[in-house]
Amino acid sequence: MATTPNAIWMDDGGFTTRITLPADPEQRTTVIHAITNSSGLEAVALGSRFTMWVDEAGGMLGPHRRPDNDLATRLAHHYNVTGKIRGPVVITGPGSVLLTEEGLVDVEYDLGANTFWSAP
């Protein structure tokens, strides 16, 4: 099993960290479901290089709606994605392609260059 970070996880409170997702696509989807606490996932394209995986029902739960994820929303807006992102998210390469070290650094740069990087 791979131990090199290959994705970024972001909670709705602004904590962001590198994570290692499984190489197997089915297992990867299962892990993304688990760490975003989602029954259904939606892929949000961030340009042509990245995908943000969000809970597809995060904004539609009425009074039990997931909290706003301001950091993920600002990152999405940086890539011209409109609307609000709710709940925790995972960022991968395009589709469910795993990020390389260069991809991780590029996402972190986008976060830092726009003063939203919040990891400790």
Q: What is the mean pLDDT of each run of 10 residues along the chain (120 residues)?
A: 85 90 94 90 94 82 78 92 92 93 90 53
Instruction: Please count the structural domains in the chain.
Output: 1
Residue 2: inside a domain: no
At 2 the pLDDT is 56
Chain centroid to Cα 58, Å, comes to 13
At 116 the pLDDT is 47
Residue 119: inside a domain: no
At 50 the pLDDT is 96
Whole-model pTM over 0.75 = yes
At 118 the pLDDT is 47
Structural domain of 18: 7-113
At 82 the pLDDT is 92
